[in-house]
Amino acid sequence: MSDLFFLMGKYEARIPTDRVYSDNHLWLQADGELNRYRVGFTAYSVRLLQDVYFLEWSIDAQSAVRKKQEIGEIESSKAVSTLYAPADGTILDFNERLLDDPSAINTDGYGRGFLFRIQTDANFLTPDEYVAHLAAGWEKTEKLIKGQYN
């Protein structure tokens, strides 16, 4: 399977085809057992955040969550942003290495930079559906980005 790409101005956001995606710009990759996933930021979201340098969770591992429930906070060179659950489910555990050094989010977001593991039976976007989701919202996002730089 070859990856997909979404052009963000002059930058490409890589969208691996070996996982599924949430509408809040997280990837989910099956993690061995049924309905268990590793979760991380997509290249699109990392590009918008830019350099991530602080991460904090507001819930504990093994917590039941609802879709769009606040679960933590991330600080980057652009802003402090709230993190939300991608679906109803249970947050199994967190990538504890990121608490000491979140740089893997920037350098290996689809690997060592994963955020947490979740158990859920929710349905997610396919890679093609996620690219279509990005395209549908890009004009608005691009205006927001240009407003930040001007």
Delimit the domains of the chain by residue range. Answer: 4-149
Residues shown for the chain: 150
Percent of the chain with pLDDT over 90: 73
Does residue 8 have a pLDDT over 80?
yes
Contact 28, 123 (CB under 8 A): no
Residue 31: exposure state from Cβ atoms within 10 A (0-12, 13-18, ≥19): middle
**What pTM was computed for the model?**
0.89
CATH of domain 4-149: 2.40.50.100
pLDDT-derived band at 47, boundaries 50, 70, 90 = confident
